[in-house]
Amino acid sequence: MEPDFSKIFHQSSKDHQKGHPPIPADLKDWPDEWKTTYYKAYPRLPKIGLDEDPPRADFFDLIKKRHSQRDFTRAPNSKHELSLILKYSCGNMGEMGGDRHRRAQASGGGRFPIEIYPIVFRQSKDLKAGLYHYNVKDHQLDVLWDREFSDEDIGQIFTYPWVKDATVGIVMTAVFWRNQNKYGERGYRYILLEAGHIGQNIYLVSEALGLKCCALGGTRDENLEQLIDIDGVTESVVYGFAIGK
């Protein structure tokens, strides 16, 4: 019988101190890497600027209305809509001091291990189909691959057949070292919690924009990691979303 690795991990990560050094109370005693915000960058690739002017929305009304929707129509999303989803789910919200910023999501220790890769299935009038990376620091899209995605292509990276009718797939990856160099095994818990925080924000922003949204457990991780060109070990897929109209 196969061991239950989830149970083993959960039990072994209950100890706050296991796998990492004691965390001094005085921030002056922390190593520099604990006080540094790391951003993944693609400096040689083309950039697309994004905007951040949101509509007004009633927060409590959004909570009541939020639900998963899968009946997508293949109608394209605008760059403005994607801009707001990215900005208000995981973007920088204001300075914390120095070069550090608050973000839209809670993050254990402010380590921000999650990277976001939007996959635009259907071209709109102001955004081409392709694979992108969300450049949080500059609120831009890094253009990784300008290409079309057929239904067959989408079926190779997401398991659910209805995803092919969405317009955008949002893929979250985790750069594990950012959390685990400080929090050890328990840091893995914080990574998954943060992905959930971002996911709820994606739902609420989508609702505010009148878009349909559904979280995806059915990601074909190895195919996605090959598409994004990450090793699946130091950086790996942890969550996905389908968005459309």
Are 74 and 107 a contacting pair, CB within 8 Å?
no
Kindly tell me if the per-residue pLDDT of 98 is higher than 80: no
**Residue whose entry in the numeric block shows the structure tokens 């890094």:** 142
- C-alpha 79/C-alpha 241 separation (Å) is 17
pLDDT at 175 over 70: yes
Q: Quick: pLDDT tens for 57-81.
A: 999 999 999 999 999 999 999 999 9
pTM: 0.95
The pLDDT tens digits of the residues spanning 26-62 come to 988 899 889 889 999 999 999 999 998 999 999 999 9
Closest CA to 55 of 213, 241, 207: 207
**Residue 141 dihedral angles phi and psi, to the nearest 5°:** -100, 130
pLDDT at 201: 98
CA–CA distances in Å: residue 100 to residues 35, 94, 143, 182: 9, 9, 25, 17
161 pLDDT more than 80: yes
**Are 157 and 112 a contacting pair, CB within 8 Å?**
no
**Could you give the percent of the chain with pLDDT greater than 90?**
80
Q: How confident is the model at residue 176 (pLDDT cuts 50, 70, 90)?
A: very high
Sketch out the chain's domains with CATH numbers: 51-244 (3.40.109.10)
